[in-house]
Copies of this chain bind each other. A is one copy, B any other.
Amino acid sequence: MKIGAFAERIGLSAHTIRYYERIGLLPRCPRDGGQRRDYDASALPWIAFLTRLRRTGMPIRDMVRYAEWRAAGQGTEAERRDLLVRHRDRVRAHVVDLQACLSVLDAKIAGYGDPPPSEPQHDTDTSHRRPVRPGIARPG
């Protein structure tokens, strides 16, 4: 599988994949005839895990450390585990914070009242909505 098809499959650009290989996130991949990258499905789980680390906000330098430990093989399990545990704890705290922010957002939105039905809604059943009360002016 060439890098273009692979990129499309995993939802990254070919540029990004080469960049990841360059900085050591991805191991040097096998080449066909010595030049062009040729991927197979065995690379997918690792990349999927990497993208999860990214989406959860792990800095790339930490991902690189993890990748180095992984490449080093046995003897690095404790470090890898610690890194993941610390990351998980940060992510958990972040989720808690986001949820708190969400309730603030909900309150703010409720303070603006229901939207005017100027455009017909796709969902025409409004029976579940709370009655319209004109919003009281607030700071913000």
Chain A positions within 8 Å of B, measured between CB atoms, are 45-46, 49, 52, 55-56, 70, 74, 77-78, 80-82, 84-85, 87-88, 91-92, 94-95, 97-99, 101-102, 104-106, 108-109, 112-113, 115-116, 135, 137, 139-140
A interface SS class: helix
State the oligomeric state as a number of copies. Answer: 2
Nearest CB in chain B: distance from A65 CB, A: 14
17 contacts between A and B (CB under 8 A): A49-B108, A49-B140, A55-B101, A56-B98, A56-B102, A70-B140, A77-B112, A77-B113, A81-B112, A81-B115, A82-B115, A84-B108, A88-B105, A88-B106, A91-B98, A91-B102, A95-B98
Q: Are B55 and A97 in contact (CB under 8 A)?
A: yes
User: In the complex, what residue of chain B is closest to A94 when comparing beta carbons?
Assistant: B98
Which B residues touch A92, using CB under 8 A? Answer: 102
